[in-house]
Amino acid sequence: MKPLLQGHARRGAVHQQIRREQKAAAVVTVIQFIGPQQLPQLLIDQRYIHINAHAMGWRITYLYVKGADRVVNQQKMTFPQAVSLSLYPIGLLSLRHVLEPQAPGLDDVFQRGKARSHDPVFGFAAFVAAVGAVVYVHHLAAAGIGAGRCGAVGWRGIHRVLHEALIYVKFSRGMPCLCPLTQELAGFYNPLLPNIYLLASQTLSFPQMKINALRRMVCMMLLLSGVAMAREAGAQELKRRADLGLRVSSLPDSLAREHRLRSGLLATGTLPASTADALGIRQGDILLSINKKQLTAPVELYELNQSMQLGQDLDVRLLRKGKKIRLQGKMQPRPLEHSSNAQVRYGQVAFRGGLLRTITYSPRQAGRHPAILFIPGFPCQSIDDYGASAYGQLIRGWSERGYVVMLVEKPGLGDNVNTPDCMEIDLRTEIEAFEQGLVQLKGYEQVDPEKVFLFGHSMGGIIAPMLSQKHRLRGVMVYGSPYRPWFEFATEMFRFQAPIAGTDYVAHEATMRTLYHVMYRFFVLAQHPDTIAAADPAYRKILQEAFQHQGGDQFWSRDYRYWQQIDELNLTRAWAETEAHVLSIWGEYDFEIVNDEDHKRIVEVVNHYHPGHGTFLAMPGTNHSLIKVDGMAQGVAQMKKRDPDYNRSHFNTALITETDAWIKRVLQQTPPSH
List the chain domain ranges.
Answer: 13-235, 246-330, 342-485+569-667, 486-567
Which among 195, 202, 197, 196 has a CA at the least distance from the CA of 80?
202
pLDDT at 407 over 60: yes
Best mean pLDDT range from 34-48, 140-154, 333-347: 333-347
The stretch 212-216 carries a mean pLDDT of 39
Strands in 572-657 per DSSP E:
581-587, 614-619
pLDDT at 431 over 60: yes
- Taking the C-alpha atoms of residue 551 and residue 578, their distance in angstroms, rounded to an integer, is 39
Low-confidence winner among 296-305, 448-457, 482-491, 512-521 (lowest mean pLDDT): 296-305
pLDDT at 367 over 90: yes
pLDDT at 384 over 50: yes
* % of residues, the chain, pLDDT over 70: 65
- In the chain, the N- to C-terminal Cα span, in Å, equals 55
Report pLDDT for 523: 96
Report pLDDT for 236: 59
The stretch 129-143 carries a mean pLDDT of 43
Instruction: Give me the phi and psi of 295, to 5 degrees please.
Output: -115, 125
Stretch (H or E) spanning 397: helix 390-400
Q: Which fold has domain 246-330?
A: Pdz3 Domain (2.30.42)
Task: Name the residue with higher pLDDT: 472 or 116.
Answer: 472
Task: Name the residue with higher pLDDT: 467 or 385.
Answer: 467
Low-confidence winner among 118-122, 150-154, 487-491, 581-585 (lowest mean pLDDT): 150-154
Which among 559, 582, 569 has a CA at the least distance from the CA of 662?
582
Stretch (H or E) spanning 80: helix 79-99
Give one DSSP letter per residue of 278-314, joined into a string: HHT--TT-EEEEETTEE--SHHHHHHHHHH--TT-EE
CA-CA distances (angstroms) from residue 262 to 145, 194, 296, 543?
64, 61, 8, 21
Report pLDDT for 198: 38
Reported confidence tier of residue 594, pLDDT bands at 50, 70, 90:
confident
Q: Which fold has domain 342-485+569-667?
A: Rossmann fold (3.40.50)
Reported confidence tier of residue 337, pLDDT bands at 50, 70, 90:
confident
pLDDT at 473 over 90: yes
- The residues pairing with 315 across neighbouring beta strands, listed in sequence order, are 328
- Taking the C-alpha atoms of residue 79 and residue 203, their distance in angstroms, rounded to an integer, is 9
Report pLDDT for 500: 83
pLDDT tens digits, 509-557: 999 999 999 999 999 999 999 999 999 999 999 999 999 898 999 999 8
- Mean pLDDT, the chain, whole residue set: 73
pLDDT at 358 over 80: yes
Q: How many CA atoms lie within 13 A of 544 on its CB side?
A: 10
- Taking the C-alpha atoms of residue 296 and residue 262, their distance in angstroms, rounded to an integer, is 8
The stretch 420-426 carries a mean pLDDT of 91
- Taking the C-alpha atoms of residue 2 and residue 27, their distance in angstroms, rounded to an integer, is 12
Report pLDDT for 368: 95
Report pLDDT for 403: 98
pLDDT tens digits, 223-233: 333 333 333 34
- Taking the C-alpha atoms of residue 91 and residue 106, their distance in angstroms, rounded to an integer, is 11
Long-range contacts of 636-641 (CB under 8 A, 24+ apart): 636/500, 636/501, 636/591, 639/591
Task: Name the residue with higher pLDDT: 221 or 454.
Answer: 454
Which among 5, 130, 132, 151 has a CA at the least distance from the CA of 64?
5
pLDDT at 121 over 80: no
